[in-house]
């Protein structure tokens, strides 16, 4: 197996906060459709997807 774990509650909360904020940025960029809105949506969406993947597939084992 792998040694990759989320070892601290603070790290889990930080990933969750980044996930929520990037989702909000994605939604606001989509609604307002200002300058470079597609690029902003892609970047925010990829960050949100990475955070979701980390929370879903990396085990949480407090040290």
pLDDT per position in the chain (63 positions), as tens?
Answer: 678 899 999 999 999 999 999 999 999 999 999 899 999 999 999 999 999 999 999 999 987
Q: Is the pTM of this model over 0.75?
A: yes
Query: Does residue 44 lie in a domain region?
Result: yes
Domain that holds residue 40: 9-57
Burial 46-59 (b: 16+ CB within 10 A, else e): ebbeebeebeeeee
Query: Does residue 1 lie in a domain region?
Result: no
Query: Does residue 63 lie in a domain region?
Result: no
Query: Does residue 2 lie in a domain region?
Result: no
Query: Does residue 21 lie in a domain region?
Result: yes
Measure CA of the first residue to CA of the last residue in the chain; give whole Å: 18
Q: What is the pLDDT of residue 63?
A: 76
């Amino acid at each position: 197996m792998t040694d990759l774990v989320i070892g601290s509650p603070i790290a889990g909360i930080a990933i969750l906060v980044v996930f929520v904020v990037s989702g909000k940025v994605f939604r606001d960029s989509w609604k307002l459709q200002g300058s470079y809105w597609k690029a902003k949506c892609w970047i925010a969406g990829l960050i949100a997807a990475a955070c979701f993947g980390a929370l879903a597939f990396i085990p949480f084992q407090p040290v």
